Amino acid sequence: EDQVTQSPEALRLQEGESSSLNCSYTVSGLRGLFWYRQDPGKGPEFLFTLYSAGEEKEKERLKATLTKKESFLHITAPKPEDSATYLCAVRRFNDYKLSFGAGTTVTVRA
């Protein structure tokens, strides 16, 4: 069974204080690791897909990286608008289902 574990559960940052979120996974034949952002009362919003170890993707202050066992979401110089829950999900080879982690709730104080 696929397992996706995110840490920490919650992260409180000062504006401008960079940090990283972790997503460790156990999946038979990874066919994509996905990062989503979810704001309160809204549906998850797609951020990135990573397919192979060593791959990196960036979007504004966010950068996602992937190794064979985990992925990191780096937030550089965060702003209050980066406050949200960040979800990680994996898809296995020959399957269309996403298995989600519990998420990391990030709060950025001005």
Partner 1 sequence: DAGVIQSPRHEVTEMGQEVTLRCKPISGHDYLFWYRQTMMRGLELLIYFNNNVPIDDSGMPEDRFSAKMPNASFSTLKIQPSEPRDSAVYFCASSLGGLTEQFFGPGTRLTVL
If phi > 0 it is left, if psi is from -120 to 50 it is alpha, else beta; for residue 109 that is beta
Residue 54 per-residue DSSP state = T
Q: Which of residues 71-100 bind partner 1 (CB under 8 A)?
A: 87, 89, 91, 96-100
Binding segment (CB under 8 A) for partner 1, from list 13-21, 45-53, 57-65, 68-76: 45-53
Q: Nearer Cβ to partner 1, position 94 or 110?
A: 94
Helices (H) and strands (E) in the chain, counts: 0, 11
Binding segment (CB under 8 A) for partner 1, from list 10-18, 27-35, 54-62, 64-72: 27-35
User: In this structure, are residues 23 and 33 in contact, taking their beta carbons and an 8 Å threshold?
Assistant: yes
Positions in the binding site for partner 1 (CB under 8 A): 31-32, 34, 36, 41-46, 49, 87, 89, 91, 96-103
